[in-house]
Amino acid sequence: MASTNYSAINNEHGGYSDQPYGSNSGLAQASQGNIEPYPRKKGLSKWVKIGVPVAIAVIIAAVVGGVLGSRASKNDDDASSSSNGAGTEDGEAAASSAASVKNNIGIYATATNSEYMIPVYPATVSNIALLFSSLPSAVIAVRTNTAAFSEPTFNPSDSAEFAWPQDPFRPSSPSTTNVRTDRPRLFAPAYKWAALPNLIENDVYLRSWNDTIFRNATAYAALEPVARVVDGSSGILDVAREVKMRLKAFSYAYRMSNDSRWSQRAFAELENAATFGNATDRWNPSHFLDAAELTAAFGIAYDWLHDALTQDQRNTVINAMLENGLRPGLDAINGGVNGWWRNAGTTGNWNCVCNGGLTVGALAIVGDDTSGVAQQILNNVVDNANENCANGPSSDGTWLETANYWYFGTTGHAEMASALLTATGSHYGLLDSNPNFVKTGLYHMHAYGPTTVFDYGDHGPNKFSSTANSMFLYATEMDQPAYALFQRDRADAAEPWSMFWYDPTVSGAYWNDMPLDHYFDANTDQWAAMRSSWTDADALYVAIKAGSNQGHQTHNDLDIGDFVLDAMGTRWAGELGSADYNSPGYFTGSDQDADRWKYYRKMTEGQNTLVVGRANQIAENTVGEVKYESSGTKQGGSTVLDVPSDSTAYWVADMTGSYNQASSVRRGVRLLNARRQVLLRDEFSTTADVEWRMHTNATIDISSTTATLTLDGKTMLITVPNPPVGMTMNRAEPVRYESDPAPPEADPLNPGVSVLVIGVPQGQATLEVLFSPQWEGMAEGNFVTPNEVALDQWSLTSHN
C-alpha cells in the first residue's frame, strides 16, 4: 500500500491537548525533576490561586459523600447480594459522590523521567488533614473513609451514568463454540458500546483514555502499514504486536465515531499484513507467538469492524487468518513441531499468548468459517490453557518467568478469558482453576518500585499491545478493586481494553490499608519487597530474591541473592536486563554449562549478589530457607505516611545450596531508621575468594571503606562499618572476568553502568554494608550505624 493521505483523519481528530480532566495537577507536587502534569492545563493555576480553601471544600464534600456512600453500600449489601445493586437513592448518591470526587481530583500526573511513568500522588492531603483536627470528631473519624482516600471498593449501582449494565447474554450451558448472536462478540459486546459514551461523560479516566486512544490512532493512521521485518530469533513478534496495537486503536475509533475512514485505514493494515512475506511463512508460524498475535489482531478487527467491511474484505480477513494462523495453529494442536508451547509445564507467556491468540481469532470467525478449523481450535484450547497458562503464577502469585514477562503472559491470559466470557458466557476456569491466580495482581503491585519495576531476568521484546491492563479485568472478575485503582493511574492504561475492563464504580485508594512489605514465599523466587511509602516517588524500596535458578522458561539469570534499591526518586542498585535474544545459545537450556550462563547479563557476576570463586552459581541449586518478618506497617488513606520509628522488615536467606565452593552462605537485608536506611549483611564460609557486587548507573567515588554514589543530583553513601580482614572496595566495569569461558558471541555493552565490588578473601567472614541515602533535610546526626547482630539473631527489634 503506497501513499494514502490520512491527514483528513488527522485534522478531524486533532486538538486533544487542552481537555480538562479535573483538578489534580494542582495537587500533585512536582517533586521530581521532569513532571508532565497530564493533562497540562489551567487546573494548576486555579489550584494555586484559589488554594487550600477549595481543597478543603472538596475534601469536606468527599467526607460527606463518603458517609452517604458507606451507608448506601451497606444498605445495598443488606438488600441484595447482586453485584448490580438495588438502585436506591442512596446507591446513586454513593456512586455520584464517588464520581464527583474522582472527577474533582482528576488524573494524577505521571513522572516522565521514569521508565514506567510512575504516577505522582499529591502530597498535600495530610496538610489538609491537619485542618480537620478542628472539625467535629465524627467528621475526623470518616476522613480516612472519604470516597477518594478510602478503602478500595466497587460501588454497585444500577444508575446507567455510572455503571456497566448486566450482559443480557447469559447462556445456561455455555460452550466454547456456541457464540452470542450479536456483534461485536469479543471483549466489548454491543451493550457495552451503547453504555460507553455515558460512562465516558462521567469518568475522568475513561475520558482521558478515550482521547488518548483517538490521538494514538491518529498518529498510527499517518504511518505506512507496518512492514514485515524479521528480527532474528524473535521473528516478527514486534511487527505482530505493533499491527495488533494499531488495529485495536483503529477498530475502537471506528466504533466510537462511525467514521468509515477508520475502518478503511484498518483494512489497509489488514490487507498488508495478510500478504506479508511469501506464502510459506507469512506469519512465521515456526515462532508461533508471531502467528498467534496476528491471529488475535485480525480477529479483533474482523469482529469490531464487521458491519463496516464488505463481504470481500471479510473473506480476505478470514482467509488470511485460516491460512497463516489458524491452520498452522491446528497443526500445532495436533502435535506439529510448532506446538511445543502446548507441552506440559509450559507455564509462561508462550502458552498464554498462543492459546489466547488462537482463541480470539477462532471466536471471531466461528460460524462464518465454513472449514471447521475455528471450531476444532475452540474444542482444544481451554484445557491446555488451564493446565499451563493458568499456572503462570506460582502459589504466591509470582509470575514464573520474570516481572516483565508478567505483562506478556497476563495480556494473553486476560484476552483469552475475556474473549471467551463475552463471546460464549464463560471463562471455563481460566480465572479460577488456579486458586492463586488472583495473587498475581498483588505480585505486580509489589514488583513495581517507586522508580521502576524489580526487573530481574529477561525483560522481553517491546511491549506494543502488551500492557498491565489485565489488572482491570482481574479487578472486576476477581473482586479486587485495588488492582483497578493501581492500574488506572499508569500510563499504559490508555488503550482500548481498559475502556471495557475498567469498572468505573470503583473508588478509594489502592494504598489504603496496603501493607508496605510483602514476602512471596514460593520456592520459585522467594522474594520480598519492602518500601517506605506507596505514593511517594522518592520512597525507599528494596526488593530481593532467592528461589530456584531453574523453572523460569529460560528467562531468568543465575541471581540468587539479587536485589534492587530505590531512594530519592532514583534506582541505585539496578538490573542489566535481557542480553541479545539473537545471540547463539541464549535460549538453549539452563543447565550448568549452558551458553546462556556465559553472557554477562545472565551470569552471576552480572547480578547484585555474591560471587564465590569467580564462578557462576549452581544452576540446579538447592533452594534454601528464608526467614522474613515485617512490622506490618500499612499505609492509611493519606498519600503521606509518617513511618513509625519501629517500622521495619527483614529477609534472610540461606543461599548455601547455590554455591560450590562454600560450606555456608547467608544473606540478610533489613530496613533501618524508620525505613530511611538499609543494611545488607552477608555471612559466609568459603574455600574461594568472595566478591560482593552491585550494578549502578551512579558514579562511584571510593575513599577507604566508603563509596559515595552520585546520580540524578542525589547522593548515596555506602559504608562498611566493620570491614572484614583483607577487604577491598573497588569500582569495576560491567564485563566478564578474563578467566571466564567466552560466550558464543560478544556481550552487549552496558554504557553508564559501574560495578561496586567488595572483595573478601576466602574463609569465614561477615560483611555488613550500610546504605544511607542522603535525604534532603536529614541531618547527619539522624543517620544510624547499627550494632552488629548475627543473622540468626535478627528480629524486628534486634537493631533498635
Binding site for ligand NAG (CB under 6 A): 13, 16, 115, 197, 200, 210-212, 214-216, 219, 256-258, 277-278, 280-281, 571, 574-575, 695-697, 753
- For residue 741, count CB atoms less than 10 angstroms from its CB and return exposed for 0-12, middle for 13-18, buried for 19 or more: exposed
- CB of residue 243 to ligand NAG, shortest distance in Å: 13
Question: Which residue, 257 or 685, has its beta carbon nearer to ligand NAG?
Answer: 257
Backbone angles phi, psi at 129, to 5 degrees: -60, -35
Question: Which residue, 202 or 476, has its beta carbon nearer to ligand NAG?
Answer: 202
Backbone angles phi, psi at 22, to 5 degrees: 95, -175
CA pair distance 372, 152, nearest whole angstrom:
46
Q: At what angle do helices 405-424 and 440-447 cross, to 10 degrees?
A: 150
- For residue 798, count CB atoms less than 10 angstroms from its CB and return exposed for 0-12, middle for 13-18, buried for 19 or more: middle
Cell (9 digits) for 764: 569465614
User: Contacts from 142-146 at CB under 8 Å and sequence distance 24+?
Assistant: 142/63, 142/66, 142/67, 142/70, 143/59, 143/63, 143/637, 144/512, 144/636, 144/637, 144/638, 145/66, 145/70, 145/637, 146/59, 146/62, 146/63, 146/65, 146/66, 146/101, 146/637
With CB atoms as reference, the residue minimizing the distance to ligand NAG is 574
- CB of residue 446 to ligand NAG, shortest distance in Å: 18
- CB of residue 248 to ligand NAG, shortest distance in Å: 11
DSSP H or E run through 8: helix 7-12
Q: At what angle do helices 260-274 and 204-221 cross, to 10 degrees?
A: 60
Question: Which residue, 230 or 640, has its beta carbon nearer to ligand NAG?
Answer: 230
Question: Which residue, 277 or 372, has its beta carbon nearer to ligand NAG?
Answer: 277
Question: Which residue, 574 or 743, has its beta carbon nearer to ligand NAG?
Answer: 574
- CB of residue 13 to ligand NAG, shortest distance in Å: 5
- CB of residue 10 to ligand NAG, shortest distance in Å: 12
Query: What does DSSP assign to residue 799?
Result: T
- CB of residue 64 to ligand NAG, shortest distance in Å: 29
Omega of the bond leading into 171 within 30 degrees of 0 (cis): no
- CB of residue 285 to ligand NAG, shortest distance in Å: 11
In this structure, is the dihedral angle defined by the CA atoms of residues 219, 223, 228 and 232, taken in order, positive or negative?
negative
- For residue 703, count CB atoms less than 10 angstroms from its CB and return exposed for 0-12, middle for 13-18, buried for 19 or more: exposed
Question: Which residue, 112 or 661, has its beta carbon nearer to ligand NAG?
Answer: 112
Question: Which residue, 142 or 735, has its beta carbon nearer to ligand NAG?
Answer: 735
Question: Which residue, 245 or 431, has its beta carbon nearer to ligand NAG?
Answer: 245
Query: What does DSSP assign to residue 741?
Result: P
- CB of residue 249 to ligand NAG, shortest distance in Å: 9
- CB of residue 221 to ligand NAG, shortest distance in Å: 12
Residue ranges of E strands in 706-779:
706-711, 714-719, 728-732, 754-760, 763-773
Question: Which residue, 109 or 129, has its beta carbon nearer to ligand NAG?
Answer: 109
- CB of residue 753 to ligand NAG, shortest distance in Å: 5
Counted residue by residue, the chain has a size of 800
- CB of residue 12 to ligand NAG, shortest distance in Å: 8
In terms of Cα–Cα distance, which of 424, 382, 413, 375 is closest to 178? Answer: 424
CA pair distance 787, 721, nearest whole angstrom:
9
- CB of residue 290 to ligand NAG, shortest distance in Å: 12
- CB of residue 82 to ligand NAG, shortest distance in Å: 27
At 309 the three-state DSSP class reads coil
Cell (9 digits) for 228: 514485515
CA pair distance 329, 349, nearest whole angstrom:
16
Question: Which residue, 392 or 569, has its beta carbon nearer to ligand NAG?
Answer: 569
Question: Which residue, 18 or 78, has its beta carbon nearer to ligand NAG?
Answer: 18
- CB of residue 721 to ligand NAG, shortest distance in Å: 24
CA pair distance 357, 332, nearest whole angstrom:
13
Question: Which residue, 256 or 568, has its beta carbon nearer to ligand NAG?
Answer: 256
CA pair distance 613, 294, nearest whole angstrom:
47
Q: At what angle do helices 288-304 and 260-274 cross, to 10 degrees?
A: 150
Backbone angles phi, psi at 194, to 5 degrees: -65, -35
Chain mean position to CA 361? 25
CA pair distance 1, 328, nearest whole angstrom:
26
Question: Which residue, 256 or 442, has its beta carbon nearer to ligand NAG?
Answer: 256
Scan for cell 534454601, then name that residue.
624
Question: Which residue, 244 or 695, has its beta carbon nearer to ligand NAG?
Answer: 695
Query: What does DSSP assign to residue 393?
Result: B
Backbone angles phi, psi at 799, to 5 degrees: -120, 15
